[in-house]
């Protein structure tokens, strides 16, 4: 839920979602439409679709528990390297590094050169104190978020200044490293905004496609193409002129 979405927007939805679906089994047995209704307002509904699909796999193949191997986690719908490693480190306390944008920035500055994703991951894994992945990963993330920040890193008071090759001088190597935040495309007037309006419009029940198009507030052909894409992705269903959640 927190991917590209603020904590303030997520928390009410998170609490409601867990109340409705407290276990993978509960989510697996629900319809995707039920899950999407509670997800409404968070955006990126593919995340909800993948979450529900993952719940089905966990219920059917893993007795409702998250697997503890990287390969098994990566095989789950919508799970990539970052999420898989976060599960290993925080749920299973396995010694793997979780490289988010903050960790990427810290490591590339320490090394003094732009770094690719594989090199960042290898270095991060090497640095983990044995048996302390749960604590270490949180320290690294918080250090990047609070101290080694994007625009105003506190280099003068940095506890690892003597080991840092950047020290706030010259071109910032983090800017060219893998994993750094890129400016997000403008939301106002975007396809994401129009798709979100379509999802919200049908969250309370079936609607005629013409009414959905009107709710999207973009020109008709563009709206119809976006509705078709949502149907193709399994996020909406169309029966003749009626549009519903799955």
pLDDT of residue 6: 85
Lowest mean pLDDT of 4-8, 16-20, 43-47, 236-240, name the range. 4-8
Classify residue 240 by its DSSP letter: T
Dist. CA 16–CA 246, nearest whole Å: 20
Confidence of residue 238 (pLDDT cuts 50, 70, 90): very high
Q: Is the pLDDT of residue 51 over 70?
A: yes
d(CA 17, CA 235): 18
CA distance 35 to 76: 18
Nearest to 198 by CA among 217, 212, 219: 212
Reported as a pLDDT band with limits 50, 70 and 90, residue 185 is: confident
**Percentage of the residues of the chain whose pLDDT score is greater than 90:** 90
Mean predicted lDDT score pLDDT of the chain: 95
Q: Is the pLDDT of residue 52 over 80?
A: yes
- Residues in the chain, overall count: 246
> What are the helix (H) ranges across 66-164?
70-74, 81-86, 101-111, 117-127, 133-146
Residues 109 and 100 sit within 8 Å (Cβ to Cβ): no
The pLDDT confidence band at residue 2, using thresholds 50, 70 and 90, is confident
Q: State which H helix or E strand residue 243 sits in.
A: strand 242-244
Say what the pLDDT of residue 41 is.
Answer: 87
169: confidence class by pLDDT, cuts 50, 70, 90: very high
Whether the CB-CB separation of 36 and 235 falls below 8 Å is answered with yes
**Structure confidence at residue 186 as a pLDDT band (50, 70, 90):** confident
As a whole number, mean pLDDT of residues 212-232 equals 97
Q: Which pLDDT value is given to residue 178?
A: 85
Record the pTM.
0.86
Instruction: Give all domains of the chain, ordered by start, each with its CATH number.
Output: 7-91 (1.10.340.30), 101-176 (1.10.1670.10), 191-244 (1.10.10.10)
Q: Are 235 and 45 in contact (CB under 8 A)?
A: yes
Q: Which residue's entry shows tokens 């997800």?
A: 39
């Amino acid at each position: 839920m927190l991917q590209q979405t603020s904590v303030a927007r997520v928390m009410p939805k998170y609490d409601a979602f867990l109340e409705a679906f407290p276990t993978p089994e509960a989510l697996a047995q629900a319809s995707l439409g039920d899950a999407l209704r509670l997800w409404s307002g968070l955006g990126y509904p593919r995340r909800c679709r993948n979450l529900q699909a993952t719940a089905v796999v966990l219920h059917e193949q893993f007795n409702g528990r998250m697997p503890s191997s990287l390969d098994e986690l990566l095989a789950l719908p919508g799970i990539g390297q970052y999420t898989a490693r976060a599960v290993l480190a925080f749920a299973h306390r396995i010694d793997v590094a979780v490289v988010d944008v903050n960790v990427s920035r810290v490591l590339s500055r320490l090394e003094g050169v732009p770094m690719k994703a594989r090199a960042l991951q290898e270095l991060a894994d090497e640095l983990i104190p044995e048996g302390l992945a749960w604590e270490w990963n949180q320290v690294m993330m918080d250090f990047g978020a609070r101290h080694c920040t994007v625009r105003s890193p506190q280099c003068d008071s940095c506890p690892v200044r003597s080991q840092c090759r950047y020290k706030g001088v010259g071109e910032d190597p983090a800017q060219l490293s893998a994993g750094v935040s890129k400016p997000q495309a403008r939301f106002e007037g975007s396809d994401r905004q129009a798709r979100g309006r379509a999802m919200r419009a049908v969250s309370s029940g079936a609607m005629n496609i013409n009414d959905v198009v009107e709710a999207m507030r973009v020109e008709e052909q563009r709206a119809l193409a976006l509705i078709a894409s949502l149907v193709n992705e399994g996020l909406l269903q169309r029966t003749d002129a009626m549009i519903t959640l799955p």
